[in-house]
Amino acid sequence: MLRAQWLLTTVLLLSLGVWLGTMVGCGEPAAPVDPHEDHDHGMADDMPAEHAEALAALPPEDRALAEKQRVCPVSGEPLGSMGTPVKVTVEGRDVLLCCQGCVSAIEAEPQKYLDKLPD
Instruction: State pLDDT tens for residues 26-61.
Output: 555 445 544 444 433 344 556 889 999 999 999 999
Lowest mean pLDDT among 2-11, 35-44, 96-105: 35-44
Alpha-carbon distances of 42 from 20, 52, 54, 117, rounded to whole Å: 32, 12, 16, 17
What is the DSSP code (8-state) at residue 81? B
User: Phi/psi of residue 103, each to 5°?
Assistant: -60, -45
What is the identity of the amino acid at 54? A
**Whole-number percent of the chain with pLDDT over 70:** 61
Instruction: List phi, psi (to 5°) of 86.
Output: -100, 130
Helices (H), 1-119: 2-23, 43-46, 49-56, 60-69, 103-108, 110-114
Of 39 and 20, the structure prediction assigns the larger pLDDT to 20
Mean pLDDT of the residues in the chain: 78
